Amino acid sequence: MEKATFAAGCFWGVEARFQQLPGVIATAVGYEGGLLASPTYQEVCTDRTGHAEAVEIDFDPSKISYQQLLDEFFALHDPTQLNRQGPDWGTQYRSVVFYRSPEQEKAAKETIARLTAEKRFSKPVVTKVVPAETFWRAEDYHQKYLEKRGAVSCHI
């Protein structure tokens, strides 16, 4: 079992997409990359804590590779939008790969370089690749939010 953490805008839709993938064992939504310990949703939404809405993924690398997770990550959002996705804006909606090993860091940076070389997007990729630190699990009502409401996706 391995872990991966990504931020790609509102965490509800991001979690819903990842939990559908074979080999993804568990997902959790939360906050990463900020300065405040144990932040709440209300605090993160002020855009003053430095946290991004993120999804932590437990996956079985014998069933799905980290590269496949990266490919899904870059397909499910617009990595050229700085601090926003769709109608959501603020640093909490930024695009980030929080890597947990040198191999994850290398894969993320190589993927961005490949997408850039292929001119996959009309604008530069602004996704940050930074070390994972503390993942603060979001409040229970955010976990599996769309699933609890019978929805399969949101605006992403």
Catalytic residue (choose from 4, 7, 10, 64): 10
Identity of residue 65? S
- Sorted by sequence, the CB contacts under 8 Å of residue 49 that are 6+ apart come out as 31, 34, 35, 36, 39, 43, 92
Region for residue 50 given its phi and psi (left: phi exceeds 0; alpha: psi -120 to 50; beta: otherwise): left
Query: Which contiguous run of DSSP H or E holds residue 88?
Result: strand 88-89
C-alpha 32/C-alpha 49 separation (Å) is 10
Give catalytic status of residue 154 as yes or no.
no
Closest CA to 4 of 66, 51, 53: 66
Q: What amino acid positions are annotated as catalytic residues? A: 10
